[in-house]
Amino acid sequence: MAWLVCDARVLASAELADTRRARRRGLLGRDHLDGAFVIEPCRWIHTIGMKFPIDVAYLDADGVVVKTIQMHRFRMGIPVWGARRVIEAGAGAFARWGLRVGDVIEIRCDEAKDGPADGVTGA
């Protein structure tokens, strides 16, 4: 388990797709998403075969949001060359969280499962 944090405020729980298999599977087969799904490394995504629209945030190497979009089902995105990771959430989540371009996102791992706080990724 991980957490998305912005300005010392927890935005949502996050599932990390940090293996090739997890990145390839993504959100396929799901009919909703609670929290967020983080794909790293990643510069572009698609929603082909997905059952629901999503919000997408592209983050650079420092965790800065460089682009956000909402993608409907069965769409192909274009690569965002400055991106290093992507955060996906159910459509409308970013508006509820107040997430926008320029925000710095940290991905904090649960210490109990993933080790000490030194394992924090992001900015």
What is the pLDDT, as a whole number, of residue 43?
95
Which carries the bigger pLDDT value, residue 32 or residue 15? 15
pTM for this model (two decimals) = 0.85
pLDDT tens for residues 61-115?
A: 999 999 999 999 999 999 999 999 999 999 999 999 999 999 999 999 976 554 4
The CATH number of residue 56's host domain is 2.60.120.1140
Closest CA to 51 of 20, 26, 76, 30: 30
Domain boundaries, position 23: 2-122
- Tokens at 36, concatenated: 């967020």
Number of domains in the chain: 1
Closest CA to 50 of 26, 17, 73: 73
Does 50 score more than 80 pLDDT? yes
